Amino acid sequence: MENNELIKLAKSVSSDRELTPAATIGGVGSALIAGNGRAYKGKNIDCSCGIGFCAEHSAIAAMITEDETRIEKIVAINADGEIMPPCGRCRELMGQINFDNQKTKIILNNNEEVELKELLPHYWLEKYL
Ligand SMILES: [Zn+2]
């Protein structure tokens, strides 16, 4: 799947919607291509008290549900159409569920693409890689 198709898939789930005065969903959408070749998507949940989670986390959970852990490529995009790099927690999540995910390609703005390992320098689990 080309980057623009993956971006389009992430965009398809990034539309902000209020669930309750304490919770919104979809301010960020994410899509990934897994090691099994399938695409998974997810949207974030913003809740009071910090109990929500990121769109990448949601897409990864959909992938994990099918017992897949390898991520070939991933992107996240906000409701304004801006591509966002993964937060620190999502970087760790990707890195810890499969050490080969250090090679996961992260789609950034301006057609830029980096591997996860470039976003996790001096990785604390480096001795296992
Ligand atoms: Zn995150």
With b meaning 16 or more CB within 10 Å and e meaning fewer, what string describes 78-96?
bbeeebbbbeeebbbbbbe
Which range of residues forms the domain containing residue 85? Answer: 3-128
Res 56: pLDDT: 98
Res 68: pLDDT: 98
Which residues are known to be catalytic?
56
Separation between Cα atoms, residue 46 and residue 117, nearest integer Å: 27
| Contacts with 126 (C-beta within 8 Å, 6 or more apart), sequence order | none
| Cα 92 to ligand 1 centre (Å) | 9
Res 111: pLDDT: 84
- Amino acid at the residue 35: G
Res 35: pLDDT: 98
| Cα 87 to ligand 1 centre (Å) | 4
Separation between Cα atoms, residue 46 and residue 42, nearest integer Å: 13
The total of structural domains in the chain comes to 1
Task: Check which CATH number belongs to the domain holding 72 and give it.
Answer: 3.40.140.10
Res 98: pLDDT: 98
| Cα 118 to ligand 1 centre (Å) | 16
| Cα 91 to ligand 1 centre (Å) | 7
Give, as one character, the DSSP assignment of residue 122: T
- Amino acid at the residue 111: N
- 61: three-class secondary structure by DSSP: helix
pLDDT < 50 positions in the chain: none
Angle (nearest 5°) at CA 25 between 111 and 83: 10
Res 118: pLDDT: 97
